[in-house]
Amino acid sequence: MPQTTGETLQSLATVPNLQVSTGVPLALHTRFGIGGPAAVFVETADFAGFVAALRVVRTAGCQAAVIGGGSNLIVADAGFDGVVLHYSASGIRAEGARVTADSGAELQALVDFTIEHGLGGIETLTRLPGHVGAAVYGNAGAYGHAISERVSRVAFFDGEKLRGFDNSQCEFAYRDSVFKRRKGWFIFSVDLTLEPASAAELRRVASDIARVRDEKFPPTMKCAGSIFKNLLLAELPAAVAAQVPPSAVREGKVPAAWFLEQIGAKGMAEGGMRVADYHANLIYNSGTGTARELCTLIQELKTRVRERFGLLLDEEVQYVGF
């Protein structure tokens, strides 16, 4: 029988190095700025503390959700009636061309670190929001490159013990990894193998990309970047692929935005949630948006694309509290 919140809080209070709060608005922990409160919010930068807290929660029979930077997160308006755990360790270390980063480090901080140390390989990920753990979890990428190209080892907790996977064991694919399919596993750190390069040249590449991304996804915009995954041209039905102009294909992928443009997505709105006028795969909170409105808009876009092309768009975002 699940414990009450009070009993769970008492158990968590016995775990060292935890910051435990109640009724924390999860809107403060998402890029969309939407979502209700977490019954209990636990934060720690201590690995042992995180594992101990997770075991307390499981023993208590409570619902649990682990979040990172909240860049790709949609939280229900009613919040989450359980325990939200946030691992905040953010260390980044270099040993030669190998860089180790804790999962709670901001991805941009990792990119900046590698550039300053003259190590190339992930500079194209500049301005991608979120934390390192989530980047590995969803195999984040941009401009034809993904973080998986540089991952040599991932340390994670499988619910029982700390384990390590090499690159092949991570089963990376386009915006996918084994961790995305094993919800009970939690990434703690990642080792990247990079290449010595000119810091000035890496900085130039990153600056050019940052300028483009800031125009498309302003840092102050309440959004998760692109909502839907792009589609692999080779995996599209022949009749659909024939409709896609060659100019729309980029590195073997058809942007989800192309399909969304065909169904009139630009400028569509549901309450305070709106599709950008200039980018059909960008939904943002104009200021008063709710999770219900966002989900309604996402579903409408998916329905229109399915009816027009017979395709089911796949979201990059994750859901909590639904």
Percentage of the chain beyond pLDDT 70 is 99
Residue 1 predicted with pLDDT over 60: no
Instruction: Examine the residue annotation and report whether 175 is marked as an active-site residue of this protein.
Output: yes
pLDDT for position 2: 56
- Distance (Å, whole) CA 282 – CA 228: 9
For 103, phi and psi rounded to 5 degrees?
-65, -20
Catalytic position from the list 226, 274, 293, 304? 226
pLDDT for position 81: 94
Catalytic position from the list 175, 203, 292, 308? 175
- Distance (Å, whole) CA 88 – CA 45: 5
For residue range 311-321, list pLDDT tens digits in order. Answer: 999 998 989 99
pLDDT for position 4: 63
Pairing of strands 162-166, 269-270: unpaired
- Distance (Å, whole) CA 302 – CA 162: 39
Per the structure block, which two tokens stand in for 7?
A: 């009993």
Instruction: Examine the residue annotation and report whether 316 is marked as an active-site residue of this protein.
Output: yes
Domains of the chain with bracketed CATH: 6-87 (3.30.43.10), 92-201 (3.30.465.10), 218-320 (3.90.78.10)
For 242, phi and psi rounded to 5 degrees?
-65, -20
CB atoms within 10 A of CB 23: 11
Please state the pTM of the whole predicted model: 0.88
Q: 3 falls in which pLDDT band (50, 70, 90)?
A: low
**Residues pairing with 192 in the sheet:** 99, 151
pLDDT for position 218: 86
- Distance (Å, whole) CA 217 – CA 227: 12
